Amino acid sequence: MTLATSPAVLTLLSLLAAATPADSLVDVTAVKAELRVFDDGKGHYLVLIPFGGDVWNHFYWGDGKTFWAQRVYGGLSEENVAFSKLFWEPRVPRGQAGFRLKDGVYKLDCGERMTLFHPTADERAHALLDSASFKPPRWTRRAYALARDESGIYYYVDRAREETVLDFRLWAGPRGQLKPLHMTNVVSDSEGDVFATRSGELRLVLDKKESVWVKGNQRTPLRLLPLEDNVRLIYSELGVYAGEPLGTPCDVL
């Protein structure tokens, strides 16, 4: 049995957040002979290397024309009789989104929802691998900060996953009704962050866990909330990403 899991990867993946990447492609030529295709009979496909020690790479989901890479953070492979791959899916409890083979049955889990898959016929699988586009993960942003005042108003910031890109977005509002705020200036350095909008400024000192919303002469203290404990709140309850596909099977299954 080959077992792979990484606490560091688990933590990092739980902080990820959203947008569609550029039209870059993943070259699967070198591993095409090892890739296997599975479908649910309803136009949904999974492409992966089911067995072997490297469970992290080459796991894709799509409609047969376009496939999005999944961020795999754990799994196992047991000879040629069983495997599992856990993928990043912040809308369900961690560890409850994955694809597995057990007792001869292929199952996709999205929290409490389960979908049966089966190997795609060889002719169809070969045609699909030759014609489909394989792309990097669709969701290319990550959570940066989440804060709340005593009246239940949330302030949420996300950013591009690339640390070199100073691309931040800010939302504010009650749970389920956060609205984007147009930022007029962003300051992010070793002393903290200032996100200036037309209606006020969100000031964060992440190292000291301090935050405040400044509107004119009024300063409203905020409580910084740990991102790792609020992943499902961010993706499922705040309303920030409502209706946006993450590029995982759980978008539709």
Looking up residue 220, the CATH number of its domain turns out to be 2.40.128
Q: In this structure, are 101 and 153 located in the same domain? A: no
Give the residue from 76, 50, 91 showing the smallest Cα distance to 253: 91
Q: In this structure, are 119 and 224 located in the same domain? A: no
Helices within the chain (DSSP H only): 7-13, 122-131, 231-232
Is residue 39 domain-resident? yes
Per-residue pLDDT at 220 exceeds 70:
yes
Per-residue pLDDT at 59 exceeds 80:
yes
Cα separation, 143 vs 232, in Å, equals 12
DSSP state of 226: -
Contacting residues for 86 by C-beta, under 8 A, at least 6 apart: 72, 73, 74, 75, 95, 97, 98
CB 19 within 8 A of CB 169: no
State which residues form the domain around 174: 141-237
At 17, which helix (H) or strand (E)?
A: strand 16-17
* Percent of the chain with pLDDT strictly greater than 70: 90
Please state the domain count of the chain.
2
Average pLDDT, the chain: 89
Residue 19's Cβ-count burial label (10 Å; 0-12, 13-18, 19+) is middle
Average pLDDT over residues 19-37: 83
Q: In this structure, are 171 and 115 located in the same domain? A: no
For residue 159, which amino acid is it?
A: R
